[in-house]
Structure formats: C-alpha cells, structure tokens
Amino acid sequence: MLRNMLLFVSLTAMLIFAVTTVLAYEVPDKVLIERPKGNQKLNSWVAPVSFPHGFHAIRLACRDCHHKETDKTLGKYVPCRQCHTDDDPTAESGFYRAWHSPGPPSCLGCHTQMRSEGGKNPVGCTTACHKPK
C-alpha cells in the first residue's frame, strides 16, 4: 500500500515536471492594460482595458500580436509595455500606437480590418475597450 502510494506520488511529480518544462511559458487568461505612470490621458473617458487574452490566444497565432518574438525568443513572451512606453501618441513604438495604429498587431487595427471582412470584432472606444468604471 505504502509502496503504491510512493510510486503514485513520484509518478505525479514526474508528470508535473514534464508538463511544466514543456509549457515553458504561460498564457494569461485576462490582462489589465493600464497606462504607464506619468503617461498623459488623451481623453477624460479613457479607462484601463481588461483584455481577454486567453480568448485571443486560442483563436490567433501568438506571433500575430507578439510581433517581436523570433524562433530564438519564442517562449519568453514579454509584455508590449516593456517596449511601447513612449508617451507621444505619434511615436511609432509609443504606448498609444501599440493599441491603435491602423493595422495589426494593434487592437483597433486588427479589429477594424476584420470588421471590414465581415467579422464581429468590437471597435467602439467606450463600448468595447475603455468601459467606464
């Protein structure tokens, strides 16, 4: 009995180890996207965005959005905010353009493009993303 239990425990430990080494990265289900500290609000109604990340990750390829990942860095997913910090809304790698530039991988860019192809993707500023608190 005790031997069986020990065997069970060590097999479980081996399984957990195998799973965690294969899944070297995690895929968060929800991500709250907030402006970096000191970054100017462009409009009074701008609120943090609750992003259904898992919902997207099962429908799209990781690299559709994580555009700086290469085969070498794949598995070390870094937040967009690590690079997209600039306060200037016209800066190419600024905070604003990461989410709003006209094409993917920006949120609005991808949604607008898919809308034009008949998708149902939400595009309203306050109805889709910046929901008032």
Summarize as ranges the residues that interact with ligand HEC (CB under 6 A): 25-28, 31, 33, 49, 51-53, 55-57, 59-60, 62, 64-68, 77-84, 92-93, 97-99, 101, 104-107, 110-111, 114, 119-122, 128-129
Q: What angle do CA 55, 93, 67 make, to 5 degrees?
A: 45
Name which of 46 and 114 has its Cβ closer to ligand HEC: 114
Least distance to ligand HEC from the beta carbon of 17, Å?
20
On whether the CB atoms of residues 89 and 42 are closer than 8 A, the answer is yes
Name which of 46 and 84 has its Cβ closer to ligand HEC: 84
Least distance to ligand HEC from the beta carbon of 39, Å?
13
Q: What are the residues facing 33 on neighbouring strands?
A: 49
Name which of 39 and 77 has its Cβ closer to ligand HEC: 77
In sequence order, what DSSP letters do the residues of 4-57 get, joined into one string? HHHHHHHHHHHHHHHHHHH--S---S-EEE-PPTTPPPSSTT---EEE-HHHHH
On whether the CB atoms of residues 92 and 84 are closer than 8 A, the answer is no
Least distance to ligand HEC from the beta carbon of 60, Å?
4
